[in-house]
Amino acid sequence: MSSSNITWHEGQVSRVERAQLLNRKPGLTIWFTGLSASGKSTIASALEQHLLHRGVSAYRLDGDNIRFGLNKNLGFSPEDRTENIRRIAEVSKLFADATNIAITSFISPYRSDRASARQLHQEAGIPFVEVFADVPVEVAEQRDPKGLYQKARAGEIKEFTGVSAPYEVPETPEVHVHTDRSTIAQAVEQIVAYLEANNLL
């Protein structure tokens, strides 16, 4: 339930001024999406490390980790998935507004939810870079480091993306990484090349 007794309190420091005072570029969000076991979290973690070693303030928000805290009250129904993404979109926007590069790693299976996350950033003037960690479901199942696909096939996990729940493939991601053909280093290099080409680093 939303409250009607609240008022937005505008700060005295703009996003651009904050970046100038901290001698940084303004922040942005890099939004990883893809099937479970697509390599999202692995690449996101490597990207975070790479950026930090370059002196860029970056912070990774991982789907599983967030469900231990902020979103621990959410399940995996379509409604809960949408709320999960709504919350992390708001959090990543705050990180980016504070001049960080927010790196999110969420399956985020629905195009409409990803579009809402993008719109939230666009309305705030914050760049939103969608990275599609693309892998055939057969390869994801072969990897299956958590044994989730096997459980889903056995009916032990309901509404599992790619098996019993849909994954809507991004139509125009800023970066499209084929994780069954690229190494982790190559994937990071591809993402960084995009950021550099668009003056985001």
pLDDT digit string (tens) for 161-194? 989 889 999 999 999 999 999 999 999 999 999 9
For domain 26-197, the CATH architecture is 3-Layer(aba) Sandwich (3.40)
Question: Where in the chain are the domains?
Answer: 26-197
The DSSP output letter for 49 is H
Angstrom distance (rounded) from CA 76 to CA 82 = 9
Identify the helix (H) or strand (E) that includes residue 33: strand 28-33
What's the pTM value of the predicted model, to 2 decimals?
0.89
% the chain with pLDDT above 70: 97
> Is 2 assigned a catalytic role?
no
Residue 182 near residue 168 (C-beta atoms within 8 A): no
Give tens-digit pLDDT for 141-164.
Answer: 999 888 898 898 988 998 899 898
Question: What is the CA 191 to chain-centroid distance, rounded?
Answer: 13
Say what the pLDDT of residue 12 is. Answer: 74
Q: 35 by DSSP, 3-state: which?
A: coil
Tell how many helices (H) and how many strands (E) occur in the chain. 8, 5
In the chain, which residues have pLDDT < 50? none
State the catalytic residue, choosing from 105, 112, 164, 182: 105
In this structure, the strands spanning 175-178 and 101-105 are: unpaired
Q: 21 by DSSP, 3-state: which?
A: helix
